[in-house]
Amino acid sequence: MQIKATTTSLLDWTGDLLAVGIFEGETELAGDLAKLDDKLAGIVKELIAEEEFEGKAGSTITSRVGNKNPVRKIALVGLGKLEDLKLDSWRSAAAAIARLAAKEKSLGISLPVGSEAADKIAQAMAEAIVLALHQDNRFKSEPEDKQTKLETVDLIGLNGQDGAVAKGETIASGVILARELVNAPANAIDPVAMAETAQKLAEECGLAIEILERDACEQFEQGMGAYLGVAQASDLPPKFIHLTYKPDGTPKKKLAIVGKSVTFDSGGLNLKVSGSGIETMKMDMGGGAATLGAAKAIAQLKPDVEVHFICAAAENMISGHAMHPGDILKASNGKTIEVNNTDAEGRLTLADALVFAEKLEVDAIVDLATLTGACIVALGNNIAGLWSTDDSLAEQIKTAAESAGEKFWQLPMEEKYFEGLKSQIADMKNTGPRAGGSITAALFLKQFIKDTPWAHLDIAGPVWSDKPDGIDNKGATGFPVRTLVNWVTS
């Protein structure tokens, strides 16, 4: 499929499906759309009247035009109210149109440019088209006949934005990598396979890579006892993955992205029972998947920023070697942790990964993790939690997320809540009281950062969708690759 920012006008475009955006409450035709209606013998006005189309956000209607016309089908897509228009409005509209056109060969999209810069709109639309049409049929012996037939997409009115289109397609490729890693079952993506994926990514995109095996993790600082404690029950070895992107010149900043990479979470000896979602725990490496997806996109976009991508990959399993509730683990910064719940394992792997990241002397660290069900209770399935020790960094993430169309809500680092994590026999426990569970998880992670500006993203809800929504299809969403890429490239 080729996406082009075309010089062809709305009135001159020819092909299978022409889609036009209309604002809510502005269904009286004017300008080029009125001229198009005249050219098509009034079919646009007739379609609006018959379907009682109002232009509400996400609404679509289509009609055949006839073989004697230069356009075979016409589609109208609602953009919502003009005053509510934002960048994600173009993204959502383009996704809806792409799904309508999946069985066509050619598509023309004409959406009003509005107040946003044309390059941002072109990028957002390109992202949406690629992601809305993405299908993951790798594990089906006979995939359903739902493959897209779309060959060309013309973005009408966005002439000269080919670079922005290419950027959108590049970012979408990183999102798709993250989606496919999360969609894959745990017998396909385990710590070894995740390391192999990172190795292949390094070779294809020119990234430096080191993979610390168990022995190296034991020798790092005072030993990665927290991370290795999680990994010790599995028959598969842990793989501590460190990818590095460096620009050609002197980097303006050095950043680190750390993703939780538990490729399957049984809960350990605090076993997840049936009905607890254990069958979905292949997605507990959603943070690591997004980290690798961001690495793929950033390596191709080549910003003048040095970025370290860290994934402490492991399985949380059950065996005679499993860590017990009540065990005390020692992290690589020397802090000791009483394990009062083996199912709060993600923060243990992140603890040592954060220590490792800070030793790289970066300017900022962002970690992302499917960390707590408490965050889903607080914010639902569509909004991720954000905590930070640095107001400037938090604002950067929020700005990047707004542009990406990915939703975050900042929650407080309420230091008083750390009282619930105190242990009588160790420096801390790995879980606290049920109340404020996502906040205490963030406070736990904070113990493994000294001075570096740091943000924690709890993405437990948005990494998975049970139904198509906007640019997301059912299954893994690739959240928040777009936010991470925007943050780094800005």
Q: Can you tell me the distance from the alpha carbon of 237 to that of 260, in angstroms, rounded to the nearest whole number?
A: 16
> Do 112 and 16 share a structural domain?
yes
> Do 101 and 198 share a structural domain?
no
Rg (CA), the chain: 24
> Do 195 and 136 share a structural domain?
no
Find the catalytic residue in 239, 282, 330, 347. 347
- CATH code: domain of residue 104: 3.40.220.10
Sign of CA dihedral 254, 197, 404, 283: negative
> Do 125 and 94 share a structural domain?
yes
Q: Can you tell me the distance from the alpha carbon of 179 to that of 216, in angstroms, rounded to the nearest whole number?
A: 30
- Among candidates 446, 439, 239, which has minimal Cα distance to 331? 446
> Do 474 and 338 share a structural domain?
yes
Domain end: 97, 131, 160, which one?
A: 160
Rounded to the nearest 10 degrees, what angle do helices 162-183 and 191-205 cross at? 160
> Do 234 and 173 share a structural domain?
yes
Domain end: 160, 192, 222, which one?
A: 160
Residue 272 is a catalytic residue: yes
Which residues are CB-neighbours of 374 under 8 A, at least 6 positions away? 434, 436, 437, 438, 441
Q: Can you tell me the distance from the alpha carbon of 376 to that of 373, in angstroms, rounded to the nearest whole number?
A: 5
pLDDT bracket for residue 277 (50, 70, 90): confident
Q: Can you tell me the distance from the alpha carbon of 195 to that of 397, in angstroms, rounded to the nearest whole number?
A: 27
Terminal Cα-to-Cα distance of the chain (whole angstroms): 28
- Among candidates 169, 195, 345, which has minimal Cα distance to 271? 345
Domain end: 130, 160, 190, which one?
A: 160
* 145: pLDDT strictly greater than 70: no
Q: What's the structural domain count of the chain?
A: 2
- CATH code: domain of residue 224: 3.40.630.10
> Do 153 and 183 share a structural domain?
no
* 115: pLDDT strictly greater than 80: no
Q: What is the mean pLDDT of the chain?
A: 95
Phi, psi angles (nearest 5°) of residue 392: -65, -45
> Do 373 and 458 share a structural domain?
yes
Find the catalytic residue in 81, 214, 272, 359. 272
pLDDT bracket for residue 112 (50, 70, 90): confident
Q: Which two tokens stand for residue 158?
A: 């966005």
pLDDT tens, position by position, 165-197 = 999 999 999 999 999 999 999 999 999 999 999
> pTM of the full predicted structure?
0.96
> Do 473 and 367 share a structural domain?
yes
**Domain assignment of residue 96, given as a range:** 2-140+149-160
> Do 175 and 80 share a structural domain?
no
* 275: pLDDT strictly greater than 90: no
> Do 194 and 156 share a structural domain?
no
pLDDT tens, position by position, 255-264 = 999 999 999 9
